[in-house]
Structure 1
Amino acid sequence: MITEAKRLQSVQEYYFSKKLQEIANMQTEIPIISLGIGSPDLQPAQEVIETLIKESQAGVNGYQSYRGLPEMRNAMAQFYQNQFGVKLNPSTEILPLMGSKEGIMHISMAFLNEGDKVLIPNPGYPTYTSVTELVQAEPLFYDLKSENDWLPDFEQLEKLAEQKPKIMWINYPHMPTGAKAPREVLEQLVDFAKRHNILIVNDNPYSFILNENPTSILSIDGAKDIAIELNSLSKTFNIAGWRIGMVLADESLINSILKVKSNMDSGMNFAIQKAATKALEVSEDWYNNLTKVYSERREIIYQICEKLNVTYDPKAVGMFIWAKLPEGIDDKTFIDEILYEKKVFITPGSIFGSNGKGYIRFSLCAPIEKLNEVLERL
């Protein structure tokens, strides 16, 4: 019998992969409404769609550069200059990705050896842990807790630094909690990473969802010496399935990541790159309209929270609402009861780590009429 690789012994199938299959197999008289995944249901800008159609018909179907079209990298650089005040060299400090999720693997393969330690937030995006284990490095979990506004405890980080971690994953605005990191916290993180020779990676796809002050770690003085940022067009421009992301860093770090990436794919589709370039050039009205839609949806999610007797932080940002269950209620049991009885899917907080136990997460990626239907079912 063919046995699987040892590296898979500590890695399970992604939670949403299993749960969505379970939901698909359920026999129900009424459709299940999903508030589980942050997959934008809104349309891209009309000019973005028109560009995709036009360039698809142009017949450029060959392999593309591993570094992406120069005009797309220029647009990414201009986007970072306009939105974050960060100046980047589009030729050497930007590498387009087929979604930022692949960047987690590329970065880990580029810089981690077997047995290296990796600082991972708890709660946090599960892929940080699974990829760390796939490359046979060792996760070191650092706590994020509500009493500290879901920000790192630097006393704990100093103790964990004694184990000489090589990479630290951070994610602000934070998923799943929606916490923001004040600039002084980002400055502390950069200082911490420099003192301990740690490569810090900020995963930053939620900057423009219900967030008045988008921030990049690369805007901190000296951050480029030890920091990488991942970003994505998926959430901000409603093109999640197109798979367009980017990694931004000093040239030497980009070149290391490129060694991995160039052996993993054969370049991004030409028409999608042209459409992504157009998306990055949308007017400020785009962001304002996005905020308006998600603000209206958030108000209904707040009503759903009150129906379910769960508490939330109205200061949180991003496309999720993170809510605390009453004491003693198991989050996985709770969401299954809602799923089976009301045909509504909500994400249990414990899939994001032990500090997520007793919490649930709602996605704002559902239209108003569906959210109102959830209210009625409850």
Structure 2
Amino acid sequence: MITEAQRLQSVQEYYFSKKLQEIANMQTDIPIISLGIGSPDLQPHPAVIEELIKNAQNGINGYQSYRGIPEMREAMATFYKSKFNVDANPSTEILPLMGSKEGIMHISMAFLNEGDKVLIPNPGYPTYSSVTELVQAEPLFYDLTNENDWLPDFDQLEKLAKQKPKIMWINYPHMPTGAKAPKDVLRKLVEFATRHQILIVNDNPYSFILNDEPTSILEIEGAKDVCIELNSLSKTFNIAGWRIGMVIGKETFINSILKVKSNMDSGMNFAIQKAAAKALLVDDSWYDELTTIYAERRKAIWEIADLLDVKYNPDTAGMFIWAKLPEDVDDKEFIDEILYTKKIFITPGSIFGSNGKGFIRFSLCAPIEKLIEVKKRLEA
């Protein structure tokens, strides 16, 4: 009998993979409206589409450099300099990725040995813990709580540091809660990592959605010695399916990740790289337009949350609204009731960790017309 690898014994199929299949199999008289996944429904900038088409027609379709074309890496460096005031050498300190989710695996494979400890936020992106387990390292969950504005408890971190973790995952603006990390918190994280020789990986794809002050941990003095940052074009430029991400950090870190990446893929499509370079250099009116659209949707989601009698913090960033259910209401039972009776899908908070229990998450990736329909269904 052929059995699966032992590493899969602690890893489950991704929640959305299973739930979306369940929804697809449902027999319904009205369409299901999904407020679950953060998959942008808006169009990319017209110039980006034009660049993609033009370069797709030029016949350059072969394997590309694992490091990406110089034009795209230079655009990534320009983006980081103009938006975060972070200097990064495009030749040695930037590595394009086929989506930042790929980077989570590459980084873990590059730095973790079997049994190494990894600090993972609770609640947090489930891929951090599943990849940690896939490489047979050990998750150490650190608490993020509503009472502490979903920021790390440094007393708890100091206690966990005694177990000598090798990597710490952070993610600000935070998914799923939308919490923003002030620079003094990022500074304390850099000091913590320096003191304990921990590699911090900041996963930073939501900085430009409903956020007046985009930040990078690499802005902090000394961060490059102990930090790297993942970023993605998926959310900011509405090109999630194109799979374009990047990791930024000092050359030695990048070279270690490249050893893994170069054995995993054969380079990003040329036309997509050219289009990515174009996207990274759009003017500020693009971000203003995004903000206007998402702000209107956020207001509609707040009204939906009020109808459901759930509490939310209006001062958050990103493309989700995180809301607290009344006491003793089970989040998975709550969202299933709405799914089956109102044909509306909302994400239960407990899939992001035990500290997400009793919360739900709404996505802003639905046009205002659908949000109006959600309100009508709930009012009915």
Place the TM-score, normalised by the shorter chain, in its bin.
over 0.9
Count of matched residue positions in the alignment of Structure 1 and Structure 2: 378
For the pair 1:278 / 2:278, whether they are aligned, the reply is yes
Uncovered stretches (5+) of structure 1, i.e. residues with no partner: none
Q: In structure 2, how many angstroms separate the alpha carbons of the residues matched to 1:287 and 1:70?
A: 25
Superposition map of 1:221-370 within 5 A: 221-370=221-370
Uncovered stretches (5+) of structure 2, i.e. residues with no partner: none
Superposition map of 1:117-128 within 5 A: 117-128=117-128
Partner secondary structure for residue 201 of structure 1: strand
For the pair 1:168 / 2:139, whether they are aligned, the reply is no
Instruction: Tell me the alpha carbon deviations over residues 209-250 of structure 1, each in whole angstroms, 9 at most, x when there is no partner.
Output: 000000000000010000010000000000000000000000
Counterpart position of 2:140: 140
Instruction: Tell me the alpha carbon deviations over residues 280-315 of structure 1, each in whole angstroms, 9 at most, x when there is no partner.
Output: 010100000000000000000000000000000000
Instruction: Tell me the alpha carbon deviations over residues 79-102 of structure 1, each in whole angstroms, 9 at most, x when there is no partner.
Output: 000000000000000000000000
Partner secondary structure for residue 346 of structure 1: strand
How far does residue 189 in structure 1 lie from its aligned partner after superposition? 0.1
Q: In structure 1, how many angstroms separate the alpha carbons of the residues matched to 2:298 and 2:182?
A: 23
Instruction: Tell me the alpha carbon deviations over residues 7-48 of structure 1, each in whole angstroms, 9 at most, x when there is no partner.
Output: 000000000000000000001010000000000000000000
Q: In structure 2, how many angstroms separate the alpha carbons of the residues matched to 1:373 and 1:285?
A: 30
Instruction: Tell me the alpha carbon deviations over residues 128-180 of structure 1, each in whole angstroms, 9 at most, x when there is no partner.
Output: 00000000000000000011100000000000000000000000000000000
Partner secondary structure for residue 109 of structure 2: helix
Counterpart position of 1:195: 195
Q: In structure 1, how many angstroms separate the alpha carbons of the residues matched to 2:128 and 2:341?
A: 33
Counterpart position of 2:47: 47
Partner secondary structure for residue 206 of structure 1: coil
Q: In structure 2, how many angstroms separate the alpha carbons of the residues matched to 1:155 and 1:369?
A: 46
**Runs of 4+ displaced beyond 2 Å:** none
Q: In structure 2, how many angstroms separate the alpha carbons of the residues matched to 1:219 and 1:108?
A: 23
Counterpart position of 2:60: 60
Counterpart position of 1:209: 209
How far does residue 56 in structure 1 lie from its aligned partner after superposition? 0.3
Q: In structure 1, how many angstroms separate the alpha carbons of the residues matched to 2:183 and 2:61?
A: 44
Q: In structure 2, how many angstroms separate the alpha carbons of the residues matched to 1:306 and 1:186?
A: 33
Counterpart position of 1:151: 151
Partner secondary structure for residue 274 of structure 1: helix
Partner secondary structure for residue 228 of structure 2: strand
State the percentage of identical aligned residues. Answer: 80
Q: In structure 1, how many angstroms separate the alpha carbons of the residues matched to 2:259 and 2:6?
A: 25
Q: In structure 1, how many angstroms separate the alpha carbons of the residues matched to 2:117 and 2:9?
A: 18
How far does residue 273 in structure 1 lie from its aligned partner after superposition? 0.3
Partner secondary structure for residue 18 of structure 1: helix
Instruction: Tell me the alpha carbon deviations over residues 319-367 of structure 1, each in whole angstroms, 9 at most, x when there is no partner.
Output: 0000000001000000000000000000000000000000000000000
Counterpart position of 2:105: 105
Partner secondary structure for residue 163 of structure 1: coil
- Aligned-residue RMSD, C-alpha: 0.3
Counterpart position of 1:179: 179
TM-score under structure 1 normalisation? Answer: 1.00
TM-score under structure 2 normalisation? Answer: 0.99
Partner secondary structure for residue 60 of structure 1: coil
Partner secondary structure for residue 162 of structure 2: helix
Q: In structure 1, how many angstroms separate the alpha carbons of the residues matched to 2:280 and 2:108?
A: 27
Partner secondary structure for residue 237 of structure 2: coil
Q: In structure 2, how many angstroms separate the alpha carbons of the residues matched to 1:60 and 1:317?
A: 39
